[in-house]
A = this chain, B = another copy of it.
Amino acid sequence: MTSILIVGAGAVGALFGSALARQGAQVSVVCRSDYEVVSREGYDITSPLLGNHRFKPHQVFREVAECKTPPEFLILTVKVLEGVDRAALIRPAVGPGTVIVLIENGIDIEGEIAAAFAENELLSGLALVGVGRGAPGKVDHQMLGQLNLGRYPEGPSAAADRLAAMFNAGGIGCKVTENVVGARWQKAVWNATFNPVSITGGMLDTAVMLGTPESTAFIRRAMQEVCAIAAAAGHPMHPKLIEQLIEGTRAIPPYHTSMALDYKYRRPMEIEAILGNTVRAARKHGVSAPILETLYALTKMIEARLSAAS
């Protein structure tokens, strides 16, 4: 039985963990904030994809160090935030054969983990899922639920194939890519645009951001900057990607980005992982990205205002 440890088992981690457990993996979780409820009752998950069900992890830990047996897969689903040393966080549970899996947002988020665990295989994963946490231990899966997974920095991986097969068997569509960095750039075209725009002026939902021809043209220009950076970084995007993303966003009901929800609930925002690293890649490759630079300056001011107010 495959042993899996999910570190940072919030809504995303719990949902994906439950899918892996359903198909027979031994899934344990490290879960700090909801520890009491989850260790007693597990997660109460409502999901149109997996059905409403209760997910009882094999073991529930409050700290990574409580996990004495290194898992075969350690899946990290914590936010990528300044001041959070993810390598130090997972180190106590990483064994020689542990495959480390990052299911996290952002650009250039793998480097520090790859450097810290040079001997371990590292998989990088992108989730496309709308899922939130209600009360402690309650997971509300609203829409989507797909994964894109690949060896970092590139190439085929038997471990990725194996994990993907488990996800698929458990009900979460999971594709394996040999170019996960390119996939991350592709996701950044949406993420590095809609996320920062959504937190300017209070909270803007996707319907407002695509509400007029002018606003749509603006979003398009911002996305073009991300595409130019991605191309300079060696990952040219498909010429139709931007229109597909805009049409795809229009096709689903208006919604708030993850950054907008973090803003609303005064949670830390992944500005650096999602936007700051994108801007730094632009600077590194000499690509002009004035819209993203502006959004970056504005979101950092917002962050400063919120932290001054808290």
A: residues with CB less than 8 A from B are: 197, 199-204, 208-209, 211-212, 214-215, 218, 222, 263, 290-291, 293-295, 297-302, 304-305, 308
Contact = CB atoms under 8 A, between A and B. Distances in A.
A21 to B, nearest CB: 40
A301 B215 contact: yes
B301 A211 contact: yes
Given A202-B305, A208-B308, A305-B202, A290 B294 contact: yes
Contacts of A204: 301-302, 305
Contacts of A308: 208
Given A290-B290, A290-B291, A291-B290, A201 B297 contact: no
Contacts of A201: 199-202, 263, 298-299, 301-302, 305
A294 B193 CA distance: 12
Given A290-B294, A291-B294, A301 B200 contact: yes
A278 to B, nearest CB: 15
A294 B202 contact: no
Nearest to A199: B201
A238 to B, nearest CB: 25
Given A204-B305, A294-B295, A305-B204, A300 B199 contact: no
A197 B302 contact: no
Nearest to A263: B201
16 contacts: A199-B201, A200-B200, A200-B298, A200-B301, A200-B302, A201-B202, A201-B302, A202-B202, A209-B301, A211-B301, A211-B304, A212-B300, A214-B300, A215-B304, A218-B293, A218-B297
Contacts of A211: 301, 304
A33 to B, nearest CB: 26
A299 B208 CA distance: 12
Nearest to A218: B297
A32 to B, nearest CB: 29
Contacts of A263: 201
A28 to B, nearest CB: 39
Contact of A294 (B209, B294, B304, B305): B294
Contacts of A304: 208, 211-212, 215
A215 B302 contact: no
A294 B218 contact: yes
A197 B298 contact: yes
A211 B204 CA distance: 25
A173 B53 CA distance: 73
A218 B301 CA distance: 11
Contacts of A203: 305
Nearest to A211: B304
A202 B204 CA distance: 11
A201 B295 CA distance: 11
A292 to B, nearest CB: 9
A199 to B, nearest CB: 6
